[in-house]
Amino acid sequence: MKTSHRYVVVALLGLGFYANVASADENLFGYIKGVEVMPKGTYELDEQITYRGDKGVGTYHAWDNKTELEYGVTDKFEAAVYVKAQAINTKNIVVDAYIPGNETYGPKLSGVGAEFKYMFLSPAKDDFGLAGYLDLGYSWLDPHSGLDKDIYSVEAKLLAQKYFMEGQLVWAGNLGIESTYARRAPLSADRQASLPVDYDWPNHNEMEVELSAGTGLSYRFAPNWSIGGEALYEAEYETVVGQERWSVFAGPNIHYGGEKFWVTLTAFHQLKGYGHPGSAQLDDSLQLIERTKDEVRLKVGFDF
Amino acid sequence: MKNIHSLWLLPVAAIVSPVYAADYLTVEQAQKAIFADAQSFEARPAKLTSDQQDKIKSLSGLRQRWDTQQIWRAVKNGKTLGWFVVDEVIGKHEFITYAVGLSPDGHVLGVEIMTYRETYGGGVRNAIWRQHLVGKTLADPFKLDEDVPNISGGTLSSRNVMDGVKRVLAIQKVLNLVE
């Protein structure tokens, strides 16, 4: 935990540093994306910290950081680049082919990527908002085991948003598909020796497809402040077993939107799920192989 | 404005005070800006019945959020120059307070932004943008990017101010302030 705490302090100090920088693509939700884009010629710096914890057994704490710079190319098209980092602390969990024992480290750079969003319809102007979203990513660390893994991903989403009560109540919905090509690095001889003889650690090329559907509602209950809830269904598919894993997360969020910055905090809890192959250690009624029971996400955006 | 603000639920008022606010015009300044020739302004606050609120919605397509509307009669030499109405609409983060001047025959004479607190969309304060609302009547379309330009990054604010002006015109008609 020490390294994780240090990581949070560093990240929060980083946020403080940027606090003087001067919101359009304001995130009302932690996991669900809105339709609106940055106005032409404007920038936004987003800092996102996600805590993932509790696999029901052993110790599992993971921290993901994403620092993103968004730019309004036109009044309908937004482009962004991002850098990811992660920290992990896992002990006494061994899942065949997924988590080969203990791993602990502080924040390490873990990936880079680019995002693009095109707003077809504006929720404020056209009554119903619609946008297309594309994320191209490359990571070199596995977010689950914490070990080396090259991951190339392409994610496309259809984003919808609707204002009610002149904008006091906001609904958003997302549908997405992500294609991933990945390859793990071999385990070290020492780590291999510490594992059961039949422990399997495939390091061939993997292809996966993930489908997702999410929805959220946000209500502005006081000037600048909104509360809401969001839910996300994710399902992973691969060639041998078909649907490999699925999960449903849901939870509350709170949002502050100001002149210089906005902040959103979401607590996400896994309600139901399944992970294949099963594990003697993990609860089969949840997707705990590549997910945890709980997540907390903090997002802050600075516009300038 | 008391009953306007009471629309908000304020369970955590102590911690949610806005950290920024920009008050550009007082009521008196806004009155002078729109009715420069007026000699006096008679306060004529209107208490709207639920039936009147329904009619306002029917005429404008927009919900009347409160039952008291701040209205003044602009007077010169005993004659009505027009009607001055203070209203509020939802902005991106907070309410936008603005004033509308109406001619006795139901035209918009001017719009002044009194309080505004947004990052982008400050364009609703822009005189050129507000000029697009001058001369409008209830018969006009009131559509962004058709008869009123959209403000990039402030679409919700410009939409709500534009819709608000239409609602104020509907209030004038429902209260029989049209000659």
- What was the ipTM of the complex prediction? 0.79
CA–CA dist B136, A174 (Å, integer): 39
User: Is residue A35 a contact partner of residue A160, using CB atoms and an 8 Å limit?
Assistant: yes
| CB-closest option in A75, A222, A303 to B119 | A303
pLDDT value of position A278: 60
Structure tokens at B149: 């330009």
Of A92-96, A135-139, A292-296, the range with the lowest mean pLDDT is A92-96
- The interface residues of chain A toward chain B in range 31-50, judged by CB-CB distance below 8 A, are 36, 38-40, 42
Would residue B61 be called left, alpha or beta, if left means φ above 0 and alpha means ψ between -120 and 50 degrees? Answer: left
> A273: which strand partners?
A247
CA–CA dist A155, B107 (Å, integer): 51
- CA distance to partner chain A, nearest, from residue B57 (Å): 13
Instruction: Give residue A133's Cα distance to chain centre.
Output: 15
Considering the entire predicted model, what is its pTM?
0.85
Angle at A229 between CA A228 and CA A234, to 5 degrees: 150
> A197: which strand partners?
none
B145 touches chain A (CB under 8 A): yes
| pLDDT surpasses 80 at A6 | no
The pLDDT tens digits of the residues spanning B71-87 come to: 999 999 999 999 999 99
CA–CA dist A201, A97 (Å, integer): 5
Average pLDDT over residues B56-70: 93
The pLDDT tens digits of the residues spanning A160-213 come to: 999 999 999 999 999 999 999 999 999 999 999 999 998 989 888 999 999 999
Residue with tokens 């119903």: A128
Instruction: Decide which of B125 and A301 is more confident.
Output: A301
CA–CA dist B64, B7 (Å, integer): 12
Q: In a 3-state reduction of DSSP, which class is residue A288? A: coil
pLDDT value of position B119: 62
CA–CA dist A129, A35 (Å, integer): 6
**Which residues on B lie below 8 Å from A24 (Cβ)?**
119-120, 153
- Contact at CB, A222 and B120, closer than 8 angstroms: no
- Contact at CB, A259 and B95, closer than 8 angstroms: no
- Contact at CB, A222 and B16, closer than 8 angstroms: yes
The pLDDT tens digits of the residues spanning A127-147 come to: 899 999 999 999 999 999 999
A283 pLDDT band, cuts 50/70/90, is confident
- Contact at CB, B13 and A222, closer than 8 angstroms: yes
**Amino acid, single-letter form, for residue A19:** A
CA–CA dist A285, B165 (Å, integer): 55
User: Is residue A113 a contact partner of residue A136, using CB atoms and an 8 Å limit?
Assistant: yes
Q: Which of A225, A227, A261, A262 to mutate to test the interface with B (most CBs of B within 10 A)?
A: A225
User: Is residue B100 a contact partner of residue B126, using CB atoms and an 8 Å limit?
Assistant: no
pLDDT value of position B39: 96
